[in-house]
Amino acid sequence: MRPAVQTDPSGGRRSAPPEGTYELVVVANRLPVDRVTEDDGSVRWQQSPGGLVTAMQSVMSGEDGAWVGWSGDPGPAPEPFDEGGMHLHAVGLSEQEVEDHYEGFSNETLWPLYHDVIVPPRFRRRWFDGYRTVNRRFAEVAASLAAPGATVWVHDYQLQLVPAMLRQLRPDVQIGWFNHIPFPGVELFAQLPWRRAVVEGLLGADLLGFQRKADADNFLRVCRRLLGLRTRGGTVDVPGPDESVRVVRASAFPISIDASGLAELSREPEVIERSRQIRRDLGDPEWLLLGVDRLDYTKGIRHRLKAYEELLSDGTLSPPQAVLVQVATPSRERVTAYVQLREQVEVTVGRANGDYGHLGRPAIHYLHQSYPRKEMAAMFLAADVMLVTPLRDGMNLVAKEYVTCRSDEGGALVLSEFTGAAGELDRAYICNPHDIDGLKATIRHAMAADPTEKRRRMRAMRRRVAEYDVQRWADDFLQALQTAPERP
Ligand code: GDG
């Protein structure tokens, strides 16, 4: 039964103990809520946007579900509270732990290493110590919340040591882990000085989920080559005490979005009118090209801008007949590589606008800001060509969101072959973003394509996303976890 709830002055609703009663525990770097401070100084929690939260909410409703995560602010953790039908239990991180575990090991070591070393990963022993300490804290909280035989679903690269730590504390629970980003090939992963600790941490799970089969295969190869373990099909044999063997499964579960919710939003008259207004504000261009990304070096924004600049310089495109809108949501602003990327992007945008813009009609509208979901939907609906050109991306939800918003079957998606999404959205205009001439040709192709053909492609992609939405993803993962091979 759900614990009693009482009001908490911090704005959330605090639940009383007992702990150890939750049948489903989600463990993720961040809580699914953001802290909002009102003008009068009072604090409340607001649900963060995003498909994971939506998916988990429906999976957890009717279940006794808890979510363990960091609040996003350094310092002591706020008291546990209930929100949106979930019990939320914050894990506190000190300023130093944010630096070592989060900004350091997670974002400066693992993130670039797992994204094909687009920038060089940095290996610092102190960072790994912080990572281990914080992973242990998450594991301890999860262990204290899970009911006997509960299911614990751990998320992402920031928490790879949690599965083994949790298994040690609570051998009775079913443990799943899902990786939202790519898993690198053995040649790259082998660089990691703590590679064995990471793999052993992951092998504490019963089921390891990856975005693509290729990621799961990379992990299995790492188990064979670096740890000498035996793999069979999509499973690894993990030797235990007294010659026992525990079987861990690694498979692909491509993440998706809340397709019906977003499609509905994009059909609202207010959103449709806003999309028309956006085009008018931009001077009714013949071609509106759009990019929407976190400002991250994995997203291929520089390559995209280079291709666009060349299309302007060779006269293929000329403002105000064509315009590019690039939304670059602020991200990881304390990490050096991100500061440098921002500078490079802004220099390029400034140069393109200086060379090709007109009074009141820039060639590129660059927006280093976040927008409400409705505004994003209106932008998707307004864009003739969506440019999703990451150098490497686990999945890329923006691609799925764009096609989902196009109930009118208009628009065209240019999509990098290095995204997980390309495996499902193979009717997109697929490109290699490293090949600038090829990227330019793909953009030209998408623009020149026959409208009937474009609609056919859009219809096929929309069908795929509608069928395999985030709910299906979560259900499939949890279903597979329940049926993971029994431990001998
Ligand atoms: C990681 C993996 C994987 C962006 N700007 C705004 C905004 N967004 C939303 C998008 C989309 C989400 O943020 C970004 O998701 P992505 O999948 O594109 O990328 P990552 O943040 O890198 O996510 C990735 C994902 O995890 C899930 O597993 O697909 O590969 O790297 O939903 O729409 N949303 C709003 N305003 C913005 O300004 N409202």
Separation of CA 14 and ligand 1 centre (Å): 30
Please report the atom of ligand 1 found closest to the CA of residue 257.
32
**Ligand 1, CB cutoff 6 Å, lining residues:** 49, 180-181, 255, 292, 294, 327, 329, 370-373, 376, 393-398, 401
Confidence of residue 61 (pLDDT cuts 50, 70, 90): low
Do 287 and 395 lie in a common domain? yes
What's the rounded Cα separation, in Å, for the pair 174 and 249? 12
SS (H, E, C) 313-350: HCCCCCCCCEEEEEEEECCCCCCHHHHHHHHHHHHHHH
Q: Clarify whether residues 274 and 216 are in a common domain.
A: no
Q: Note whether residue 487 is domain-resident.
A: no
* 298 CA from centroid of ligand 1 (Å): 12
- Residue 40 in any domain: the answer is yes
Tell me the C-alpha distance between 33 and 72, whole Å.
9
Q: Which of 179, 391, 398, 404 to mutate to test the pocket of ligand 1 (most atoms within 8 A of CB)?
A: 398
Q: Assess if residue 356 is contained within a domain.
A: yes
Residue 367 CA, ligand 1 centroid: distance in Å: 16
What per-residue confidence (pLDDT) applies to 219? 98
Percent of the chain with pLDDT over 90: 84
Residue 10 confidence (pLDDT) above 50: no
Which of the given ranges, 69-83, 269-283, 327-341, has the highest pLDDT on average? 269-283
> Within this chain, do residues 39 and 152 fall inside the same structural domain, yes or no?
yes
Q: Are residues 351 and 279 in the same domain?
A: yes
Q: Are residues 392 and 271 in the same domain?
A: yes
- Cβ partners under 8 Å of residue 147, min gap 6: 20, 21, 22, 23, 64
Distance 461 CA to ligand 1 centre (A): 19
The protein residue with its alpha carbon nearest to ligand 1, atom 36, reads 371
Residues belonging to the active site: 180, 393
Structure-model confidence comparison of residues 233 and 55, the more confident one: 233
Q: Residue 467 has what pLDDT?
A: 97
Same domain, 51 and 17: yes
Shared-domain flag, residues 161 and 50: yes
What does the block give as tokens for 99? 């630096």
pLDDT for 17: 38
Quickly state the pLDDT bin for 13 (edges 50, 70, 90).
very low
CB 114 within 8 A of CB 160: no
For tokens 């063997």, what's the residue? 245
Atom of ligand 1 nearest to the CA of 393: 30
Alpha-carbon distance of 236 to 268, in angstroms, equals: 48
Residue 488 in domain: no
How far is residue 139's CA from residue 146's CA, in Å, rounded to a whole number?
Answer: 11
In the predicted model, is pLDDT for residue 479 greater than 60? yes
- Predicted confidence (pLDDT) per residue in 392-431, tens digit: 999 999 999 999 999 999 999 999 999 999 999 999 999 9
Per-residue tokens: 367: 């927006």
Q: Measuring CA to CA, which residue among 175, 41, 192, 184 is closest to residue 123? A: 192
Asked whether residue 236 is assigned to any structural domain, the reply reads yes
Contacts 24+ apart (CB under 8 A), 87-94: 87/2, 87/3, 87/15, 87/22, 87/145, 88/12, 88/31, 88/32, 88/33, 88/45, 89/141, 89/145, 90/31, 91/134, 91/137, 91/138, 91/141, 93/134
Whose C-alpha lies nearest to ligand 1, atom 38?
370
124 and 138 inside one domain: yes
- Over range 19-25, report the average pLDDT: 87
Q: Tell the residue nearest (CA) to atom 6 of ligand 1.
A: 370
Cβ proximity of 153 and 24 under 8 Å: yes
Work out the mean pLDDT of the chain and round it to a whole number: 92
Q: Is the dihedral of CA 276, 277, 283, 287 positive or negative?
A: negative
**2 vs 205 pLDDT, higher one:** 205
Q: Phi then psi for 248, rounded to 5 degrees?
A: -110, 135
Statement: residue 246 has pLDDT above 60:
yes
Best probe residue, ligand 1, of 397, 403, 416 (max atoms within 8 Å of C-beta): 397
Q: What count of residues does the chain have? A: 488
Same domain, 239 and 292: no
Instruction: For 94-123, write each residue's pLDDT tens digit.
Output: 999 999 999 999 999 999 999 999 999 999
Q: Bridge-partner residues for 13, per DSSP?
A: 7, 82
**How much is the pLDDT for 49?**
66
Report if residue 101 sits inside a domain. yes
Give the structural domain span for 63.
4-255+472-482
**Domain total in the chain:** 2
Nearest protein CA to atom 1 of ligand 1, as residue? 180
- Look up the pTM and report it: 0.93
Tell me the C-alpha distance between 180 and 118, whole Å. Answer: 18
Residue nearest to atom 27 of ligand 1 (CA): 180
Give yes or no: residues 93 and 232 share one domain.
Answer: yes
Bridge partners, residue 325, by sequence:
290, 365
pLDDT in tens, 127-160: 999 999 999 999 999 999 999 999 999 999 999 9
Angle between helices 213-227 and 195-202 (to 10 degrees): 120
Confidence of residue 37 (pLDDT cuts 50, 70, 90): confident
Residue 476 lies in a domain: yes
Note the pLDDT of residue 84: 78
Residues 165 and 292 in one domain: no
Whether the per-residue pLDDT at 282 is higher than 80: the answer is yes
Cα-to-centroid distance, 51 and ligand 1 (Å): 9
Q: Using pLDDT thresholds of 50, 70 and 90, give the confidence band for residue 351.
A: very high
- Tokens 């599965």, located at residue: 163
CA of 399 to the centre of ligand 1 (A): 10
Q: Which pairing describes strands 322-329 and 174-178: parallel, antiparallel, or unpaired?
A: unpaired
Per-residue pLDDT, averaged over 325-340, amounts to: 93
Kindly state whether residues 226 and 288 are assigned to the same domain: no
The CATH number of residue 352's host domain is 3.40.50.2000
